[in-house]
Amino acid sequence: MPEKLIRACCIAVAISGSLSFAADHQIVQKDRSFSQSEITIKPGDKITFQNSDDVTHNVFSLTPGMEFDLRRQAPGASSTVPFDKEGTAEVRCSIHPKMKVLVTVKK
Ligand SMILES: [Cu+2]
């Protein structure tokens, strides 16, 4: 195997190894609700909140240590939130009070 090719393989392995360490999950907003009511992820994972609805949403969490606010997300918009600390965040939408998803982060 030519040396160049061997080096390319090593780099590919290194990249895929680091990607599998932190996963990117997706939660979709559709019909004024989240695609799931709960999700369990590992510290360092990320969640992409995708607005696939025909209305604006405002996803946020007030859980201490896990606060975030995506502000107003127009239809088609998405934002990615990193979750580094362990705990359970109550994620809601400020426009639609019935929307709720529990994000549990644990090792
Ligand atoms: Cu909403």
Residue 15 lies in a domain: no
Residue 16 lies in a domain: no
**pLDDT bracket for residue 8 (50, 70, 90):** low
**pLDDT bracket for residue 21 (50, 70, 90):** confident
Residue 70 lies in a domain: yes
Number of independent structural domains in the chain: 1
Query: Could you give the CA distance from residue 56 to residue 67 in angstroms, rounded to a whole number?
Result: 20
Residue 13 lies in a domain: no
At residue 23, does pLDDT exceed 90?
yes
Summarize the confidence of residues 4-20 as an average pLDDT.
53
Distance 26 CA to ligand 1 centre (A): 16
At residue 6, does pLDDT exceed 60?
no
| Tens-digit pLDDT profile for residues 47-69 | 999 999 999 999 999 999 999 99
Distance 3 CA to ligand 1 centre (A): 54
Distance 44 CA to ligand 1 centre (A): 26
Residue 93 lies in a domain: yes
Distance 54 CA to ligand 1 centre (A): 10
Residue 10 lies in a domain: no
Question: In 3-state terms, what secondary structure has residue 59?
Answer: strand
For residue 93, give the CATH number of its domain.
2.60.40.420
Summarize the confidence of residues 81-95 as an average pLDDT.
98
Who surrounds ion ligand 1 at CB < 5 A?
57, 93, 95-96
Query: Could you give the CA distance from residue 102 to residue 65 in angstroms, rounded to a whole number?
Result: 15
Domain that holds residue 80: 23-105
Residue 45 lies in a domain: yes
Distance 11 CA to ligand 1 centre (A): 42
Q: Are 61 and 67 contacting, i.e. CB atoms less than 8 angstroms apart?
A: yes
Q: What is the pLDDT of residue 12?
A: 53
Distance 9 CA to ligand 1 centre (A): 45
